[in-house]
Structure 1
């Protein structure tokens, strides 16, 4: 049953990937995070208890599974230590079960200060980041001035690196953003206290994963955020700072593409996004309130109310192509239970101003949205409870028709359907590990 499976989001994140990874991990030996930082929030409900993970892969909830954090991530040492302590307080052992790549980059306090200062300065053109320092940390990585996990092994060199980088940050914070400077001693002392603890988890991630594949072990690669937040393929500039699409698996772990056997995209049956940015199918009436209340649509990392809207098939098809999806998982089906009618965006209508643009050449960006309106197909609601159903045949007829219509429009199979937040509230049509 050995197989490598990628689980990633097809929307703007918050699709319910954490639950699906947790559900599939029962059949896995390793779960690997390959990008993003503690701006992600994967909420799990196990035995009626809510656990929110930000950096540790969701597979940690299963005792025999190894959780791996790859080089493509950015790690907040303070947040990581707190998360591990939280898990252990909930009787979830992390010792010898969390591996970290030495090449992963660190998020430090000056990244957070810069993130917040920029958002404050931008005013009307604010991006709407989580304020966790993710962007500045990735900038340092690309600029080759970042602090890596392996830097914790030599505190003397670490101190010099922090001093050098802080000169760069403090000059901007004080002279341009009019914020307070940061004392390098505070950063260094905090790192020095957690260095040995973090270094005890460091492993050669590419070698471990290569050996696991050779030994026919099963691996799940867990994505953070979603396709539409990818820095290259998302709704730029309202995106995250990493590649949340399937390419991030290879660059973020050192595992080559030929070893990816099955790629599962996760999509809500409607759409949400946190923060600013284009959202063509967004709703603002009582339907928005309905999605917010019924779907509990508050960000698990920021607590901000998520914007809501109807499912956009055009964007879903884009995610399918970019990620070479094998199949789709639909989540939150039960949220639609009380709606009289359900809309699906099946295409876009271009105004006469944009008539010269061929649909195949259309790029989804802020600059192109003014002359586009969504074309909807309306389906009847089923007005019956689907909550907790675990077999497709027991779904209401109209719910089956809704799912089948989506499958017809996207051209790939829907293998899994989530009917509630708990691990066992799941319909499996085809199990990824058993195909």
Structure 2
């Protein structure tokens, strides 16, 4: 089985929990885009672990993790994350492979990102340097992980980049310039620590395919944050769709057998940008409180609102999704009434060009008003909960294959 996992909303759908649950049956978990802006949360042995760069299935010791060429890589964050993860699975470093084609997040990327976000033109990014790193990649001036192992080439590229970036920092942003020698030494030291982990990811994945290994392709962020098909310009800087798995890992599209979409039982968004079903009053506040809706990477409070079937249907079409995992279903337990957006008064379908003007039409049912976190079969669910799932399936045209009823790995109902 070669399975891609993608988010169908604005990120934070619970992909980390689902990947951790599924990875027991897989040999490889490969991240194909994004960087430290990801925050995939896994609950393990009563601890909450957040995966930013390392693939989230690696608590399963049968699984190796690949950080693919489509990712942007921050060595400092990686080593901090590795140190934390090693407390729970000591030999995890032996199971991590990092693409030599990854573009590096450099100190000037992070600084520029932070400065930009403090202006009126800020987009609500995580300030992790993701956008500026991808900018350099597509401007063909970026520095890749493989460059570190040819020091003279690295030095030349770093000096060329810093001459441009320092000019920008001083003349446009009125900030202090950065030292090339300090960055050079720091990143050469990273290179020595990373040397044994760096691979040609297309070769690793190609070997896994030929050996009939089971592969998870792990996406980050969500479809509505895709650089092309999301709610532009309030999006991330990479392609978050399932099609990006092929490009971001160097595997042929025919080696993706199927795609599982992940969506919350309601909707959330972090940062700026349109959100048709956002509730700024009681419902939104209750969902945020009951669901602990605060960003895993930034800690920012998430905006919350009812499930939007049209958004999920749009995202499923872009990704080739027919089955979904509905996460955080247990969070709805305190609601007297549960609403679902089934369409819009002013549009037939979700349209990102008018997302800020869409007016949702809601259908409302009775809440199930009971704790479902200990249930493990569909038959045990209250009738109102089953009715809600039927509504989701009816208005999205998708099959709800998995239902997550709590943060723990085993808190999952499989139909």
TM-score, scaled to structure 1: 0.93
1:162 matched to 2:158? The reply is yes
Deviation at 1:370?
A: 5.5
Aligned to 1:397: 383
Match of 1:363 among 341, 348, 351: 351
- Higher mean alpha-carbon deviation, 372-381 vs 6-15, is at 372-381
Aligned to 2:368: 382
Aligned to 2:124: 128
Q: What are the equivalent positions in structure 2 for 1:259-274 lying under 5 Å apart? A: 259-274=255-270
Deviation at 1:369?
A: 4.3
In 2, Cα distance between equivalents of 1:245 and 1:91:
30
Q: What are the equivalent positions in structure 2 for 1:11-410 lying under 5 Å apart? A: 11-121=9-119, 123=120, 125-350=121-346, 359=348, 363-365=351-353, 368-369=354-355, 371-410=357-396
The structure-2 alpha-carbon separation of the partners of 1:144 and 1:342, relative to structure 1 and needing over 3 Å to count, comes to same
Unpaired runs of 5+ in structure 2?
none
- Higher mean alpha-carbon deviation, 327-336 vs 82-91, is at 82-91
Q: Size of the alignment, in residue pairs?
A: 415
The structure-2 alpha-carbon separation of the partners of 1:92 and 1:410, relative to structure 1 and needing over 3 Å to count, comes to farther
Aligned to 2:412: 426
Deviation at 1:94?
A: 2.0
CA RMSD, 1 decimal: 1.2
Give a deviation string over 1:376-434, Cα, whole Å, max 9, x none. 111110111111321111111110110011111111211100000000000111xxxxx
Is the Cα contact below 8 Å between 1:61 and 1:92 reproduced in 2? no
**Runs of 4 or more above 6 Å deviation:** none
Deviation at 1:23?
A: 0.2
Question: Partner of 2:48: helix, strand, or coil?
Answer: strand
Is the Cα contact below 8 Å between 1:152 and 1:199 reproduced in 2? no
Question: Partner of 2:83: helix, strand, or coil?
Answer: helix
Aligned to 1:433: none
In 2, Cα distance between equivalents of 1:266 and 1:11:
8
- Higher mean alpha-carbon deviation, 53-62 vs 370-379, is at 370-379
Question: Partner of 2:390: helix, strand, or coil?
Answer: helix
Aligned to 2:2: 4
TM-score, scaled to structure 2: 0.98
In 2, Cα distance between equivalents of 1:91 and 1:249:
27
Deviation at 1:89?
A: 2.9
In 2, Cα distance between equivalents of 1:70 and 1:384:
42
Question: Partner of 1:14: helix, strand, or coil?
Answer: coil
- Higher mean alpha-carbon deviation, 280-289 vs 85-94, is at 85-94
Deviation at 1:332?
A: 0.3
Is the Cα contact below 8 Å between 1:316 and 1:410 reproduced in 2? yes
